[in-house]
Amino acid sequence: MFLSFITSIFAVGISVIITLNLTIVYKIAIDKFNLVKITGLSKEKLMFNYNGMIKYLNNPFIKQLEFEDFSMSRTGEIHFQEVKNIFMKLYIIVIIALLIFITFKLVKALAKNIEFPKVVNYAANIILITFGFVMASMGINFSKTFVLFHKLFFNNNYWIFDPKTDPVINALPEELFLVYAIIIIVLLGVQVIAFKMIYIKSKPIKSPHQIIKRFNI
| Mean pLDDT score of the chain | 90
Q: What is the mean pLDDT of residues 157-177?
A: 96
For 111-155, the three-class secondary structure string (H helix, E strand, C coil) is CCCCCHHHHHHHHHHHHHHHHHHHHHHHHHCHHHHHHHHHHHHCC
Q: What is the mean pLDDT of residues 117-125?
A: 91
Q: Which pTM was predicted?
A: 0.86
Q: Is pLDDT at 98 greater than 70 in this prediction?
A: yes
